[in-house]
Amino acid sequence: MKIGEIANAAGVTTSRIRFYEKRGIIAPAARGPNGYRDYPEDLIALLRFIEQAQGLGFTLREIASVEVRSGPHPISCAEAIGLLAKKRDAVDALIAEAEERKRRIDSLISELQESQARSED
Amino acid sequence: MKIGEIANAAGVTTSRIRFYEKRGIIAPAARGPNGYRDYPEDLIALLRFIEQAQGLGFTLREIASVEVRSGPHPISCAEAIGLLAKKRDAVDALIAEAEERKRRIDSLISELQESQARSED
DNA sequence: ATAGGGTTTGAACCTAGGTTGAAGGTCAAG
DNA sequence: CTTGACCTTCAACCTAGGTTCAAACCCTAT
């Protein structure tokens, strides 16, 4: 498959695929006699996997480090669970931080509303 | 006060103050006869305000748009409450998104744990 | 043979919020 | 009168994840 075809199939842009290759997130593509990249259908699944992982909050750097090992040494189920658990903790921390922000905003709003009420006496 | 003094007093770097001035977050400083920036003590409070607002999730762009009006037309209490309420909603949305991410991660972990349990039969 | 669509490369651009560095001017103390 | 600590400007660099552009090549249909 040519780059445009696989991009269409996976719902990503061609520039993104080239960018992933440049960054080492995906392996360099095989080339046809004209120099065009030639992809196996498998790559569609990989591209979708990348999008999913990003959606869960994994960075491309993190995804790449898993990808690298999916060749000769695929990551074990236990390892995957470990990575996911770590990411869940990070998301938890993010949520806690955002909730703290929200609390501070709310208390600021209350303060302002009170001072507004007082000024209307 | 010279830039280094005020930076120290407010707990920010000098480069940050110059950056804020360049970006229009703070007004251009008065200059002494030697060309050095000369700040009034008030600016300490403003710099602290900026840090606080950032901590609540406001971007410099948002802070600047409020700052601009704090000269001739300071923003009203009601306006401030409006901005805060809007930001709280944005934080709420962020939290909801993060919680959805967390749910997806958790269900993925459960899936993997089950498949691991099955493979140990 | 020429128009169009797809592909190649590399480099520049974008947001956000700064930091770092170079080259030079200023000021106070010893 | 020199050293060290400040200050000035402007420009380049950084992260993350890409997009956009220019110049050139390839392939197919008319």
pLDDT over 70, % of chain A:
94
Q: Find all residues with CB under 8 Å of B98, minimum gap 6, and list them.
A: A91, A94, A95, A98
Amino acid at A110: S
CATH code of the domain made up of A1-58: 1.10.1660.10
Cα B43 from Cα A18, distance rounded (Å):
48
More confident residue, A91 or B120: A91
How many angstroms separate the CA of A5 from the C1' of C1?
Answer: 29
- What pLDDT shows up at residue A44? 97
Residue type for A84, please?
L
Please indicate whether, in this complex, the C-beta atoms of A81 and B113 are within 8 angstroms of each other.
Answer: yes
What's phi and psi for B36, nearest 5 deg? Answer: -70, 145
pLDDT digits (tens, 9 = 90+) for B18-33: 999 999 999 999 999 9
Average pLDDT over residues A19-48: 96
pLDDT in tens, A41-73: 999 999 999 999 999 999 999 999 886 555 556
DSSP B2: -
| C1' (C14) to CA (A44) span, angstroms | 28
* Domain ranges, ordered by start, for chain B: 1-57, 76-121
* CB-based contact, A103 to chain B, within 8 Å: no
Asked if A106's CB is within 8 angstroms of B91's CB, the reply is no
Domain B1-57 falls in which CATH fold?
A: Multidrug-efflux Transporter Regulator; Chain: A; Domain 2 (1.10.1660)
Range with lowest mean pLDDT among A45-49, A75-79, B52-56, B117-121: B117-121
Nearest 5°: phi and psi at A72? -65, -45
Give residue-wise pLDDT tens across range B50-83.
Answer: 999 999 999 999 999 887 556 556 788 888 999 9
Which DSSP string do the residues of B27-70 spell out, in sequence order? PPPEE-TTS-EE--THHHHHHHHHHHHHHTT--HHHHHHHHHHT
User: What is the C-alpha to C-alpha distance for residues B108 and A53, in angstroms, rounded to an integer?
Assistant: 11
Q: How many residues does chain A have?
A: 121
What pLDDT, on a 0 to 100 scale, did the predictor assign at position B70?
60
- Coil, helix or strand for A121? coil
Please tell me the predicted confidence (pLDDT) of residue A68. 55
**Would you call A105 and B92 a contact, using CB atoms and an 8 Å cutoff?**
no
pLDDT at B68: 56
Average pLDDT for A61-89: 83
